[in-house]
Structure 1
Amino acid sequence: MTNVPNKLFIQGKNCWAIASAKRAAVLRNGEAYFAAFHHALLQARKQVFILGWDIHSKEELLRGEAAVEAKARNLPTRLGPLLDHVVRSKPDLDIRILIWNFSMLLSLEREPNLFFNLGWAPHPRIHLHMDDEHPVGASHHQKIVVVDGELAFCGGLDLTHYRWDTEDHEPDDPRRRTPAGRSYGPYHDVMMMVEGEVAAKLGELCAYRWHKATAEVVEQRIDDTTDAWPEWVQPWFRHINVGIVRTLPEYKSQQEVREVEALYLDAIRSARRSIFIENQYFTAPILCTALEQRLQETDGPEVVIILPKKISGWLGNKVMEAKRVRILDRLMQADVHNRLRLRHPWVGEQTKHGVMVHAKLMVVDDRLMRVGSANLCNRSMGLDTECDLAIEAQNPEQEAGVRRLRNELLAEHFGVTVQEVDAQFQRPESKGSLTWVIDQLSDPEQWSQRLKGLGPLEIQEEEFPELVSEAEILDPEKPLEVDRLMDAFVPARESSQDGWLRANWLWLILGACALVGLAAAWRFTGLAEIADRQRLAEFLQIVPWDVGLYPLLLIGFVVGGLSMFPVTVLIGATAILLDPLPALVTAFAGTQLSALVTYGVGWRLGRERIQRMAGSRLNRISRQLARHGVVSIAVIRNLPIAPFTIVNLVAGASHIRLRDYLVGTLLGMAPGILAVTIFTDQLLGFLQEPNPLNILFMAGALIFLVVASRWLKRRFS
């Protein structure tokens, strides 16, 4: 640890840890990072962590001459074979890969073997886990690699397809192809490579994420004799403090961490001369407000923001573009002193080819630099898992390293040497102005032959105002209230759920066979008479009480509630006896009446008795019921947390307002009542007449129930 204290970093506020790096450097673009990773992996001895949003085992890490040289040494160049190669040659090496458990949005982009384990069969000491331990809609977005706790990479690049490119970003580079042979456009990104104590801290973070995702405790295995630093990479910094900055969403027992947001705000407030930003997205209002305030100051800093010309990615260009339009328009309105430059990189003779900016970095003055996975969007501030590395310069040598990142990026974007960029800053008329240098390098008269540059980012009219609500769902500031409420009711995962499809495919087949067999029995035997509603109603009319069927069913709901009989069975029986519409009305009335009676019982028994009966888990539910009212009741009615009657008793003992309780019960029971009554009606139709349409409906219903139960099982294990 260096002796000079950092002025900006505050552990527990805007960073998780401050650790020393023996060496640190920035790797620009996929060619540099993939080559450095390839080299480092070959040096690994004990343990490798790979955390990412995506991965592709067939990704070519080395291309062109580098690939020829590697193959001449009999070294694999594709990721999967390379991982197998190093594990087989080093019996003590253990590799753990944690990738986001993709949503349907990625189903057509992911490598097929991540679904079915086809193609690449990893070695037993290569552990691949799909992380789904995060709030609904959130993603595991950290991109970290740690080798033996001694060397680490952190930034915006995943080890997957559509990422490799050179700093030239040639429009038609034939090497820029996916494993499937598809070409793609220029792609710009950045990673930081660090060595020493900070790598060990990143390994600690990886072990924590692995435990949260799998419930498996993994001890970090550090080997400080490993020299995995590529000899061709000259260190930018030596013996320097590095801040590790995270975003972690509130989830189950995990507390919310917003260090990424805090450091962005602190860095913007501390800027004296300039703020240089590259990012894929800019949709976070809180960061926009902070920049607006600095732009409106008379002596505030210059602000340069480099974004892609068009937004692409899994969030959808239309949604994020609509939000970006409003954010950038606000900044332009605040730029009363002409200190703002919004730019996008381009390549090609007629500037037709935009460069996809995927980098997530910031340089403030010559003092602060940060590189990581966090976008300037709400998700990265409080919903997705993120990790950035930040360096605060403490002396002129370190300031030169910070300045180097900004100037090398400008040189890359403008297609000039870094010496030419430095010369522009040293001209007397520049007065050290970042915006002046960018304007000079953008002058078409001086640079008419250039085939690269930074073009003005034109703010289009908001074409998609109807997507505002959708944008709020796709780019929320934190987990949705309903999702956080769900997490409060359940404990953290206790075991891994890997291999569910392989373990349960037989049950899917047996379920389908059971439906077919039941249909055949109803079709060809006398059992079909049981499904006749009129016959059942006539049978029930002979009961000794001189009452109608409806009051009898309501009494059944009350008695069932008091005896803890499953309410779903009562709803299903109602759906069998009555036609769909009367069944719906009766089921709603019966559940409300039963809930009201058992609520009263809970109120009479009192809190202490219910707490002794329910235990600590339902005591936690009691607190949530009292805190959230209608929402909590509505949510808990749809979750496999506690029986219907127990929830009613706890609610009564919690003294939740009766109105909130009844409204929440009505809203919460509605989906289940609708599903059960409609399903039961269709089931009867299927049993009596198993035609292709009914068979198709039942198959779809079965798949839906299996998928829904699977999701609930994984989430509430």
Structure 2
Amino acid sequence: MTSDNDERDGPERTEPAPLWPPEDEPGPADPESEERGVWRYEHCTRATLVVDAADYFLLIQQAMLRAQRRIMLIGWDFDTRIALGRGRGWMNIFKRRHPPRRLGAFIVWLTKQNKDLKIRVLKWNFAAVKMFFRGSMIIDLWRWFKNRRITFKFDAAHPVGCSHHQKIVIIDDRFAVCGGIDMTAERWDTRAHRDGERLRRAPGGKRYMPWHDVTMMVEGEVAGALDELGRNRWHIAGGEDIPPLPHQPESAWPPELKPQFTDIEIGIARTRAEWKDHKEIAEIETLFLDMIRKAQRFIYAENQYFASRRITEVIAQRMGEPDPPEVVLINPLFADGWLEQEAMDTARQRLVETIGRVDKQNRFRIYVPHTDGDSPIYVHAKLTIVDDMMLKVGSANMNNRSLGLDSECDLFIDANRPANAGCDEQIRRIRHSLLGEHIGLEAEEVGPLIERYGSMHALIDRHPQPGRRLKPLPMRELNGLQKRMADEEWLDPEDPSDFFEPIVGAKSRRPALFRRLRAPV
């Protein structure tokens, strides 16, 4: 085995490329990328969308068991107390003893099984406060600290008020995960979202509400690009320079996971606020707006928030057209936490009211998923599908923070690209599967029912939903202070400097929410 510091070799490269280019990061891979809001497109040998954390935690444990040289865990939060897979049955493949279930112990166990393996964990620095209330997590971090092949680092490389929000795992430069699922507490749930699920408990035993989320597993050169992004982020956060690995003949792809896509091109889009010598990146915002503008028939989206003025502006323009696309947005009933509810829920209500003024055909609707027992399901997913021709999944929400302040990363599949011919059929299956999950139908039933009723809205409105169901988002009255907080974006600004705007005075006399929502609103 070569060391982790060896440079990549092979017939196509005689010397290693500079890890940190003069312009901080390499530009788009082709001329179309920049205008479409994509950092670069890379070849992907296999890709699969993973829905909900019960499956994801099992699969990511299987993948990490196959790691040979390096694992990079990059996230908004990590809780070492959570249990991943139970490790029964498929463990016979590896001929090893049963691994620990808890994330913290599992990471240490991996380094003992493979002396060539190095593991790096990058976590948002503000979330460090939570560690002091997590009991045994301090012990786990001490064990990590003593292990020379485990490096744990807090990411503080952002302006005040911004956060590190990416959720990425990279294994051996050949396999990666990018999406919305954090390896932390109160994330685990199955696609059934059962009422009273006994395993849906936080490490301390606390029960939490049903939770819906998505992420994507990829293999190939796209994983190498995410590895480059991760190494760059590690360096920006104050870590050492990490060189690329030599080519790995095999990836950590879980052997039992069937790919939904094979041999396609996947785009990568990012968000990052300007910080010190690192320029602002707003690719995800450009991509979001481009997808909405290009929608011809429908937009299906699942997102934790709906609080972006720019996204609302473009949707309002589309809703004012003679034949606007159908927009189905799946949201949680309320944000997670009082402060987020004040910031996001009030802004959502004001934005929905704004769109409603021009949406004469009622084509834009927000729905909240509910369990069989009528409990609301929290939606943490960040997924957008347009006309079954474009699919975007990652960490970015539909709020101002994700479009300009926080560090984000999304993956993008565009069936319009020649290399992705035929992807539309698989994207359609994904949309039907997700919609079926929310209204208690099998994926195969959804397509014929949409044809029968004529639209997704009509299917949701008219088809019986005796169990799981989607309900229209209820509207509520806002008081004067809530309206002002939403309109002026006090808690969800578009620029880091705007955090202090309520104190030092607004930059514009026009409320921020409506600065550019002039015509047709």
Q: Indicate the TM-score class for this superposition, using the shorter chain for normalisation.
A: 0.7 to 0.9
2:229 matched to 1:216?
no
Q: Partner amino acid for 2:493?
A: P
Following the alignment from structure 1 to structure 2, what is the Cα–Cα distance between the partners of residues 76 and 67? 15
1:55-454 aligned within 5 A: 55-62=78-85, 73-102=97-126, 106=130, 113=137, 117=141, 123-313=147-337, 315-349=339-373, 351=374, 353-394=375-416, 397-427=422-452, 430=454, 433-441=455-463, 446-447=464-465, 450-454=466-470
Deviation readout 1:562-593 (Å, 9 max, x if unpaired): xxxxxxxxxxxxxxxxxxxxxxxxxxxxxxxx
Q: Which has the higher contact order (CA 8 A, sep 6+)?
A: 2
* 1:106 positional shift: 4.6
**What does residue 61 of structure 2 align with?**
38
Following the alignment from structure 1 to structure 2, what is the Cα–Cα distance between the partners of residues 250 and 115? 36
- RMSD over equivalenced CA pairs, Å: 2.9
* 1:160 positional shift: 0.8
Whether the 8 Å CA contact 1:274–1:302 is kept in 2: the answer is yes
Following the alignment from structure 1 to structure 2, what is the Cα–Cα distance between the partners of residues 244 and 188? 23
Following the alignment from structure 1 to structure 2, what is the Cα–Cα distance between the partners of residues 462 and 179? 36
TM-score, length basis structure 2:
0.84
Q: Partner amino acid for 2:396?
A: A
* 1:418 positional shift: 0.5
Distance of aligned partners of 1:310 and 1:157 in 2 relative to their CA distance in 1, 3 Å threshold? same
Larger mean Cα displacement after TM superposition, 219-228 or 380-389? 219-228
Following the alignment from structure 1 to structure 2, what is the Cα–Cα distance between the partners of residues 112 and 343? 39
Whether the 8 Å CA contact 2:36–2:290 is kept in 1: the answer is no
* 1:466 positional shift: 4.6
Q: Partner amino acid for 1:318?
A: E
* 1:28 positional shift: 0.1
Following the alignment from structure 2 to structure 1, what is the Cα–Cα distance between the partners of residues 499 and 478? 30
Distance of aligned partners of 1:315 and 1:18 in 2 relative to their CA distance in 1, 3 Å threshold? farther
Helix, strand or coil: the match of 1:185?
coil
Residue among 11, 24, 29 paired with 2:52? 29
Q: Partner amino acid for 1:134?
A: H
Deviation readout 1:23-63 (Å, 9 max, x if unpaired): 11100000111111000000000111110000011110125
Whether the 8 Å CA contact 1:67–1:77 is kept in 2: the answer is no
Whether the 8 Å CA contact 2:77–2:127 is kept in 1: the answer is no
Following the alignment from structure 1 to structure 2, what is the Cα–Cα distance between the partners of residues 122 and 30? 30
Deviation readout 1:95-141 (Å, 9 max, x if unpaired): 11100001687577666645994576662211100111110011000
Q: Partner amino acid for 1:440?
A: R
Distance of aligned partners of 1:417 and 1:71 in 2 relative to their CA distance in 1, 3 Å threshold? farther
Whether the 8 Å CA contact 1:345–1:354 is kept in 2: the answer is yes
**What does residue 495 of structure 2 align with?**
478
**What does residue 6 of structure 2 align with?**
none
2:475 matched to 1:459?
yes
Distance of aligned partners of 1:104 and 1:28 in 2 relative to their CA distance in 1, 3 Å threshold? closer
* 1:183 positional shift: 1.3
Helix, strand or coil: the match of 1:194?
strand
Whether the 8 Å CA contact 2:165–2:408 is kept in 1: the answer is yes
Distance of aligned partners of 1:434 and 1:145 in 2 relative to their CA distance in 1, 3 Å threshold? same
Following the alignment from structure 1 to structure 2, what is the Cα–Cα distance between the partners of residues 466 and 237? 45
Distance of aligned partners of 1:423 and 1:467 in 2 relative to their CA distance in 1, 3 Å threshold? closer
Distance of aligned partners of 1:112 and 1:479 in 2 relative to their CA distance in 1, 3 Å threshold? farther
Deviation readout 1:455-474 (Å, 9 max, x if unpaired): 11011111462574487342
- Bigger Rg over Cα: 1
Whether the 8 Å CA contact 2:328–2:457 is kept in 1: the answer is yes
Distance of aligned partners of 1:91 and 1:464 in 2 relative to their CA distance in 1, 3 Å threshold? farther
Helix, strand or coil: the match of 1:202?
helix
Following the alignment from structure 1 to structure 2, what is the Cα–Cα distance between the partners of residues 216 and 319? 37
Whether the 8 Å CA contact 2:271–2:403 is kept in 1: the answer is yes
Whether the 8 Å CA contact 2:167–2:182 is kept in 1: the answer is yes
Helix, strand or coil: the match of 2:312?
helix
Deviation readout 1:582-609 (Å, 9 max, x if unpaired): xxxxxxxxxxxxxxxxxxxxxxxxxxxx
Following the alignment from structure 2 to structure 1, what is the Cα–Cα distance between the partners of residues 96 and 440? 33
1:572-651 aligned within 5 A: none
Whether the 8 Å CA contact 1:302–1:339 is kept in 2: the answer is yes
Deviation readout 1:536-564 (Å, 9 max, x if unpaired): xxxxxxxxxxxxxxxxxxxxxxxxxxxxx
Give 1 or 2: higher helix fraction: 1
Helix, strand or coil: the match of 1:354?
coil
Whether the 8 Å CA contact 1:280–1:307 is kept in 2: the answer is yes
Distance of aligned partners of 1:20 and 1:171 in 2 relative to their CA distance in 1, 3 Å threshold? same
Whether the 8 Å CA contact 1:162–1:178 is kept in 2: the answer is yes
Helix, strand or coil: the match of 2:410?
strand
Whether the 8 Å CA contact 1:278–1:359 is kept in 2: the answer is yes
Whether the 8 Å CA contact 2:342–2:482 is kept in 1: the answer is no
* 1:10 positional shift: 1.9
* 1:326 positional shift: 0.3
Following the alignment from structure 2 to structure 1, what is the Cα–Cα distance between the partners of residues 440 and 96? 33
Distance of aligned partners of 1:27 and 1:274 in 2 relative to their CA distance in 1, 3 Å threshold? same
Following the alignment from structure 2 to structure 1, what is the Cα–Cα distance between the partners of residues 202 and 224? 33
Helix, strand or coil: the match of 2:193?
coil
Q: How many residues align?
A: 470
Helix, strand or coil: the match of 2:34?
coil
Give 1 or 2: higher strand fraction: 2
* 1:210 positional shift: 0.2
Helix, strand or coil: the match of 1:80?
helix
Larger mean Cα displacement after TM superposition, 148-157 or 413-422? 413-422
* 1:221 positional shift: 1.8
* 1:294 positional shift: 0.7
2:32 matched to 1:15?
no
Whether the 8 Å CA contact 2:145–2:152 is kept in 1: the answer is no
* 1:227 positional shift: 3.0
TM-score, length basis structure 1:
0.62
Q: Partner amino acid for 2:311?
A: L
Deviation readout 1:311-352 (Å, 9 max, x if unpaired): 114852122221111011112222111212210000133x2x
Following the alignment from structure 2 to structure 1, what is the Cα–Cα distance between the partners of residues 129 and 290? 34
**What does residue 671 of structure 1 align with?**
none
Q: Partner amino acid for 2:215?
A: M
